[in-house]
Structure 1
Amino acid sequence: MNNFIDKLSDKLVPVASKLGQNKYLLVLRDAFMLAFPITMFGSLVVVINNLPFFSEELQGTLGTLFGNGQNATMSIMSIFVTFGIGYYLSKTYDIDPAFGGAVSLAAYLILTPFEMITEGGEAVTGVLTLDRLGAKGMFVGMVAAFLAAEVYARITKKGITITMPEGVPEAVARSFAAMIPAIITLGIFTLLNALVIGLLNANLHDLVYDTIQEPLTGLGSGLPATLIAVFFVQLLWFFGLHGQIIVNSVMDPIWNTTMLDNLAAYETGKPLPHIVTKPFMEMYTVGMGGSGSTLIVVILIAFFMKSRQFNDVGRLALAPGIFNVNEPVIFGMPIVLNAAIFIPWLIAPLITTAFNYIVMNIGLFPIPTGVSVPWTVPVFANGMLATNSLMGGVLQLIDMAIIGVIWYPFLKIVDRQNLKNQAPDMSKA
């Protein structure tokens, strides 16, 4: 077993390290984190407006009064992400990030149709619809932002700029320096948009959504892809690499898109289209004690094992674990490179993820509504908030019971070995 782990480590760790340091994935992660506090506010508004004990009439009134708290945040998430991509990618080139963010956002909006089709089939021009600025426009926004920031940065680095004389206010000088790169970059995107409209009689949003984003989202949010993602999160953590950061940087665009789709459906009373969303991944993998759902493991080693080593680690890790911080147990137990608990660490989240997907798919338990819940909210409360149902928290308790059953025999084996190693020290005392 140890030889297998050593060989796997030699192959996996270098690849994962390179992936974790990839400039574009880091920029994408930072862009989503830029949008996080804003979308969190929108989620809180949705939760308050739709508390289950409110009547439908009261929920409707609250939606009318406070609905813009969601419309101006979660519903236009693509705006914040595209600006963030331009901002953080420009920083990697050591050029003014504010202008890079603004150019990326403008490039995205150039590709976005300012048009709405009414229920009667009439086209209304000069308007932006929320779906274009939310989930439906996410893929176009990310690609446009990366390309625009790259073009803008490369032109700027080549020195194709206007340099103002000394004495000119800094803000004015920066604005003139950004002028030529911005004009060239936005000119390219304007020409691209004209070609798509003129040659294909379509807009890039619908074209990309129908041919790329919708199939990719369906594939990435299915059970097989989700289990692969969970597998690599667990495997990377076992070797001491932050699995969430590495895997989520790849999967977050899909999970955030499905989250916004669910929220839009929930707000209009339609069936939720996706099971796997960002809240699903957070509440039913991380939201039960951190990566690997280790809160039940911490409880077991703190109160049901006999060795002092386990008891001490468990009791120290309990308070952080309640708030889904589990580094104390990952490195204190340790879980990292501990072959004795490799099997439960790897398979327990896979089993509960598959179980949760199945019971939600057949309607036994509610699907997360698309509301974003802070990952530090304790178990049961976060499941209830994510699904707007008591049963969302009940499912988490069932998951913890399953994980406890899987882990218990392995913990007993390690506990007995700890007791043997502890005996000489106790006799000396």
Structure 2
Amino acid sequence: MPIASKLGSNRYLTVLRDAFMLSFPLTMFGSIIVVINNLPFFSKNTQGTLSQLFGNGQNATMSIMTVFVTFGIGYYLSKSYDVEAIFGGAISFASFLLLTPFTATTDKGVEVSGVLSLDRLGAKGMFVGMLAAFVAAEIYCRITKKGWQIKMPDGVPPAVAKSFAAMIPAIITLSVFLIVNAIMTGIFNTNLNDVIYEVIQKPLTGLGASLPATLIALFFVQLLWFFGLHGQIIVNSVMDPIWNTLMLDNLDAYKAGKHLPHIITKPFMETFTVGLGGSGMTLAVVLIMVFMLKSKQYRDIGRLALAPGIFNVNEPVIFGLPIVLNASIFIPWIITPLIVTSLNYAVMAMGLVPAPTGVSVPWTVPVFASGMLATNSIWGGVLQLVDVIIVGLLWFPFMKSLDKQAIMTAE
């Protein structure tokens, strides 16, 4: 518990989480546009027309997610140091751009200069963006804390005074990144963006896309929740950058009409784990309490938890059943998500149900609807209903045992 608490309160993981949440409303807007443009009952011509008319809704949001994340990291990290945050965000974003090639290759193999490729502002640039943003914000904050600033007289407007105060830290920070880019370009004839993508991002995303790594992450989510710690926040702060990058890869492939490269993505984790009633997939547990148990205690808890559970809010179950430190239900709490996730992965790997397209679905969307939206197929919703049944079957013997104990106690 002490280790988990420190991990959950770590400055950098907290900043990373908040930075991704900054981009959340924008990615949701982009996801809605993608869903509308690609509704399955539209013809290919209609989908093409809608993409031409409204495609910028996705290009200006989800496709350039790294822009918002880098700014958010600089902003929130500077804020955590009590340094002027808006300049930290701007400097971090500019530092990322200094490492990004302003060139793109056309479909015919012609290299065009003076342009930014969308993939470098999205999935491909995510890790270099995060690293650059953290380093830039650290340099900016440390220089500012040392007092290396131009201080203006008291009568100068605050906005002007803050701009001058940020000038020296900004120049030094940006110079560091400009020199790094010059070394990579001039000496090694490459760029840091591509190096990090090949050396760090590809292996990490490959690991994060695997079923074993996903099951390990889920195991710790469940274990931490059992001890009363928010496992979702703690584990996701580490895994979200990987899962979000995989999501953007799928979205790019989906837009291009290509095969989806990944099964494990952020939408997969949200829709087919949290989307089944909250952490631990507890919607089936609530339904069992309401309709199948006899003790007044559990029926009342189930009734109270049903409405929130439909929208995947399950704190009433976690702390009301309770699940926290309840050894009687430790086994189903731990193993059920692992079994159901393995099944979902296998079904999608066999092609029986489409993998999530990369569209971001709010975790509060009820079961069946969220599955359809995430996969752009009714079979995604059907799979969720099958999951709920499996969860219920795995939990029922344990809940029946608790019910008998409660009835005996009441008598």
TM category, shorter: over 0.9
1:53 to 17, 34, 41: 41
Corresponding residue number in structure 2 for 1:94 = 82
2:404 to 416, 424, 427: 416
What residue identity is the alignment partner of 2:165? A
Instruction: Indicate the SS of the match to 1:51.
Output: coil
Task: Give the distance between the partners of 1:18 and 1:120, measured in 2 at CA.
Answer: 51
Task: Give the distance between the partners of 1:268 and 1:135, measured in 2 at CA.
Answer: 15
Task: Give the distance between the partners of 1:268 and 1:201, measured in 2 at CA.
Answer: 30
Task: Give the distance between the partners of 2:108 and 2:65, measured in 1 at CA.
Answer: 28
Give deviations 1:356-399, integer Å, cap 9, x for gaps: 11110111111000000111110000000000000000001111
2:216 to 228, 237, 242: 228
2:373 to 373, 379, 385: 385
Instruction: Indicate the SS of the match to 1:228.
Output: helix
Task: Give the distance between the partners of 1:221 and 1:14, measured in 2 at CA.
Answer: 29
Structure 1 residue 47, shift from structure 2 partner: 0.5
What residue identity is the alignment partner of 2:24? F
Q: Normalised by the size of structure 1, how large is the TM-score?
A: 0.95
Corresponding residue number in structure 2 for 1:360 = 348
Corresponding residue number in structure 2 for 1:427 = none
Corresponding residue number in structure 1 for 2:247 = 259
Task: Give the distance between the partners of 1:208 and 1:335, measured in 2 at CA.
Answer: 42
What residue identity is the alignment partner of 1:15? I
Structure 2: gaps spanning 5 or more residues: none
1:295 to 283, 287, 293: 283
Structure 1 residue 118, shift from structure 2 partner: 1.9
What residue identity is the alignment partner of 2:35? V
Q: 4+ residue runs of structure 1 moved beyond 6 angstroms?
A: none
Structure 1 residue 117, shift from structure 2 partner: 1.3
1:170 and 2:158 are equivalent in the alignment: yes
1:63 and 2:43 are equivalent in the alignment: no
1:216 to 195, 200, 204: 204
What residue identity is the alignment partner of 2:7? L
Corresponding residue number in structure 1 for 2:260 = 272
What residue identity is the alignment partner of 1:52? P
Task: Give the distance between the partners of 2:408 and 2:42, measured in 1 at CA.
Answer: 58
1:78 and 2:66 are equivalent in the alignment: yes
Q: Normalised by the size of structure 2, how large is the TM-score?
A: 0.99
What residue identity is the alignment partner of 1:205? N
Structure 1 residue 122, shift from structure 2 partner: 2.0
Give deviations 1:222-262, integer Å, cap 9, x for gaps: 00100000000001111111010000000000000000000
Structure 1 residue 171, shift from structure 2 partner: 0.4
Corresponding residue number in structure 1 for 2:137 = 149
What residue identity is the alignment partner of 2:385? L
1:110 to 98, 116, 119: 98
Task: Give the distance between the partners of 1:151 and 1:36, measured in 2 at CA.
Answer: 27
1:193 to 160, 163, 181: 181
Structure 1 residue 195, shift from structure 2 partner: 0.4
Corresponding residue number in structure 1 for 2:19 = 31
Corresponding residue number in structure 2 for 1:250 = 238
What residue identity is the alignment partner of 1:40? M
Superposition CA RMSD, Å: 0.6
Corresponding residue number in structure 2 for 1:204 = 192
Structure 1 residue 206, shift from structure 2 partner: 1.2
Give deviations 1:93-124, integer Å, cap 9, x for gaps: 10110000000000000000000112332211
Q: How do 1:296-315 and structure 2 match up within 5 A?
A: 296-315=284-303
Instruction: Indicate the SS of the match to 2:76.
Output: helix
Task: Give the distance between the partners of 1:126 and 1:406, measured in 2 at CA.
Answer: 58
Task: Give the distance between the partners of 1:417 and 1:123, measured in 2 at CA.
Answer: 72
Instruction: Indicate the SS of the match to 1:140.
Output: helix
1:129 to 75, 94, 117: 117
What residue identity is the alignment partner of 1:192? V
Task: Give the distance between the partners of 2:180 and 2:193, measured in 1 at CA.
Answer: 12
Give deviations 1:395-428, integer Å, cap 9, x for gaps: 01111111111100001111100001111xxxxx
Structure 1 residue 85, shift from structure 2 partner: 0.1
Task: Give the distance between the partners of 2:106 and 2:303, measured in 1 at CA.
Answer: 60
Structure 1 residue 23, shift from structure 2 partner: 0.3
Structure 1 residue 16, shift from structure 2 partner: 0.5
1:120 to 91, 100, 108: 108
Task: Give the distance between the partners of 1:320 and 1:182, measured in 2 at CA.
Answer: 47
1:321 to 309, 317, 325: 309
Task: Give the distance between the partners of 1:150 and 1:269, measured in 2 at CA.
Answer: 41
Corresponding residue number in structure 1 for 2:394 = 406
Task: Give the distance between the partners of 1:399 and 1:119, measured in 2 at CA.
Answer: 42
Corresponding residue number in structure 1 for 2:337 = 349
Task: Give the distance between the partners of 2:391 and 2:245, measured in 1 at CA.
Answer: 29
Corresponding residue number in structure 1 for 2:146 = 158
Task: Give the distance between the partners of 2:330 and 2:343, measured in 1 at CA.
Answer: 21
What residue identity is the alignment partner of 2:313? V
Equivalent pairs: percent with the same residue? Answer: 71
Task: Give the distance between the partners of 1:47 and 1:240, measured in 2 at CA.
Answer: 37
Corresponding residue number in structure 1 for 2:325 = 337
Structure 1 residue 177, shift from structure 2 partner: 0.1
Corresponding residue number in structure 2 for 1:284 = 272
Instruction: Indicate the SS of the match to 1:116.
Output: strand
Corresponding residue number in structure 2 for 1:15 = 3
